[in-house]
Amino acid sequence: MARKRYVWDPEAPGILGKGGMVEVSTDYQQPAHVHYVIPDTPDYISPVTEKLVSGRRQRRDDLARTNSRPWEGLEQENKECERRKQYAEQKFDRNLDEKANRAYYQMEPSRRRHLGGD
């Protein structure tokens, strides 16, 4: 009786769904697993600090330190600008509400009654 060889196939139908052992020939060679290494980014001069930025880590640090973000095109920049404007407006409104409430509750009760509150 000839010897049989099996390998795992994630797409083969198995007992519990997908994934199971499939029979292969005895001269079967498994494909090599190659890892892809992302090369580091080229050095450049930061447009904000005018210092040399070498690599991804320094780029992240430079962007965080200068409160910058990577350029993603004019359309995306306009969306980000609108998002930041809305955030600033909401923050201003919350601050204004907080100060108005604080001023209201620091008033004498008779004045608050006059305004229609308590």
Interval 47-100: pLDDT, tens: 999 999 999 999 999 999 998 988 889 999 999 999 999 999 999 999 999 999
Inform me whether the pLDDT recorded for 37 exceeds 60. Answer: yes
Residue 46 is encoded by which pair of tokens?
């930061």
Could you tell me the pTM of the whole model?
0.46
Inform me whether the pLDDT recorded for 11 exceeds 80. Answer: yes
Domain ranges of the chain: 1-29, 40-70, 75-115
pLDDT tens-digit profile of 57-67? 999 999 999 98
Give the residue from 37, 64, 62 showing the smallest Cα distance to 50. 62
Cα torsion through 85, 51, 56, 79, rounded to 10: 20
